[in-house]
Amino acid sequence: MNIAIIMAAGKGLRVGGEIPKQFVEIDGHMLVEYSIATFQQHPGIDEIIVVIPEDCPSAITQRLKTQFAKITRFVVGGTERFQSSWNAVQLFADRPGDNLLLHDAARPGITPRIIDDLLQALSTGEAAVTAMPAIDTVLRGDNERTLLETFNRSRVFYAQTPQAFRANLLFDCFTKLWQKGGITPTDESGLVKHFHPDIPIHIVIGEAVNFKVTYPNDLKIVGYNNIVQILKKHENKATADEDTNMPCKTACGDAYLPKLSRLDRSSSVRNRETPVTEDDYKYMRMAIEVSERNIAEGGGPFGAVIVKDGEVVAASGNRVVPNNDPTAHAEVTAIREACAKLGTFQLIGATLYASCEPCPMCLSSIYWAGISRVFYAGTRYDSDDVGFDDSFIYDELAIPISERSIPFRQILHKESLRAYHLWATKDDKVRY
Ligand SMILES: [Zn+2]
């Protein structure tokens, strides 16, 4: 039996936010789901075990279990990486011949080819690691940053995961570690090398796409590269389960999602059901054209187009600088233009095409305007790259008023309520 052990117990705080990075959603899927999907689809993998944090909400485990039939159990991890892997490895005390592939959940881009090669290596050996040949020359220095040694690049590798071992070999190494101690290896292969230096560990060549998500921008890369395709394949198979997944998603939200300020939840299930027509592409290209033209006209690199009943009712670039108006984002100015043209304060039935994912202000404006559909091209991370960082606003929205960076203090509460009373008792008011 070949068992994938997904190491998802880490806190992973470097990606930002309070949520462990392996549970951050990208394009509607948690990071951990990408690699699990690849193992699920691989015909050589019989079983998947997921090592989770102690406080992992049951909604997350249910959501994983519902989607991936090969998951046989969840194991609670320990405080250290080794404790976590041991908690899984010790399950195999009486299954010595099984092959264990330990994979880091923060590497969503694991490919079937890597799994093939690892299984092939274990058919003749007992241990194999995934690693990338070094591109740059690797230097070793001392604590003063003085060069001690230059390595021959052709013999230097960067470790990736999975690392794969026969169960009894790893079980034995861990047993010796707990009994004898004395070493702090950085990974399982180091452990095997220490206690069984005679056993060859085969190096399987990894892939760049199998990189480790470490920094916030890495999440963006995940969303953009072909990793998404891996999951899409799986998704087609799992569409029938979509309805049963929904309650889990909601439940997960209760536990974790409110904290996810940098979360890209752009393609929710509902969004995936939004059909895209040729016209949608046409209008989006128009919005992108506006964004490019707008730069020459003194504005920022953003454009928005609003279409209602098959007619373009507004097209605007970002006019913050030319208009001396910090609220003149492309979407907001397009909404103002469309409402003025149509003589209404509501744009129900209209579609907005934004060259970039709307910021929190524009998002609010879209809701207040009652716009029915939104398409966007670039993401907030793209604009972040060229100096438009609105992530702090997402962060501010998620925290209590008292903790916001701009002080908010409530005064004259009672006096303010008179206006509400006047409004409530006015007979001829126009509701909006
Ligand atoms: Zn905006």
What digits encode the pLDDT tens for the residues 306-327?
Answer: 999 999 999 999 999 999 999 9
Average pLDDT of the residues in 379-393: 80
Residues with CB under 5 A from ligand 1 (ion): 329, 359, 361-362
Across 416-420, average pLDDT: 89
Q: Distance, CA 340 to ligand 1 centroid (Å)?
A: 19
What is the pLDDT, as a whole number, of residue 143? Answer: 87
Ligand 1 centroid – CA 361 distance (Å): 5
Query: Which token pair is 18?
Result: 């309070």
Sheet strands (E) in 16-170 = 25-26, 29-30, 47-52, 71-76, 99-104, 127-133, 139-141, 147-150, 157-166
Give the integer Cα–Cα distance in Å for 329 and 136. Answer: 43
> The dihedral of CA 136, 138, 142, 148: what is its sign?
negative
Percentage of the chain beyond pLDDT 70 is 85
DSSP string for 219-241: HHHHHHSTHHHHHHHHHHHHGGG
Reduced DSSP (H G I as helix, E B as strand, rest coil) percent helix, strand, coil of the chain, to 5: 45, 20, 35
| Structure-token pair, residue 318 | 């970002």
Q: Which of 331, 337, 396, 403 is catalytic?
A: 331
For residue 128, how far is its CA from the centre of ligand 1 (angstroms)?
50
Asked if residue 38 lies in contact with residue 32, where contact means CB atoms within 8 angstroms, the answer is no
| CA 141–ligand 1 middle distance (angstroms) | 47
207 is catalytic: no
In angstroms, the CA 212 to CA 424 distance is: 56
CA-to-CA dists, residue 218 to 179, 285, 328, angstroms: 39, 27, 30
Residue range 9-54, pLDDT digits in tens: 987 554 455 678 888 887 778 889 999 999 999 999 999 999 999 8
Residue range 140-152, pLDDT digits in tens: 898 888 999 998 8
Taking the C-alpha atoms of residue 349 and residue 352, their distance in angstroms, rounded to an integer, is: 10
Amino acid letter, residue 308: K
Residue 259 has pLDDT above 80, yes or no: no
- For the stretch 90-118, pLDDT in tens is 999 999 999 999 999 999 989 999 999 99
pTM more than 0.85: no
Average predicted confidence (pLDDT) for the chain: 84
Quote the ligand 1 centre to 180 CA distance (angstroms): 60
Q: Mind listing the pLDDT tens digit for each residue in 237-258?
A: 444 333 333 333 323 333 333 2
Do 415 and 286 contact (CB within 8 A), yes or no?
Answer: no
- Cβ-proximal residues to 285 (8 Å cutoff; 6+ apart), any chain: none
Cβ-contact 195, 171 below 8 angstroms: no
Cα 76 to middle of ligand 1, angstroms: 42
* Per-residue model confidence as pLDDT tens digits over 329-345: 999 999 999 999 999 99
| Residue 80 confidence (pLDDT) | 83
d(CA 350, CA 307): 6
* Backbone angle region of 56, left / alpha / beta, with phi > 0 → left and psi within -120 to 50 → alpha: beta
Whole-number Å distance, alpha carbon 375 to ligand 1 midpoint, is 14
Nearest to 12 by CA among 21, 3, 24: 21
Cα–ligand 1 centroid distance for 383 (angstroms): 11
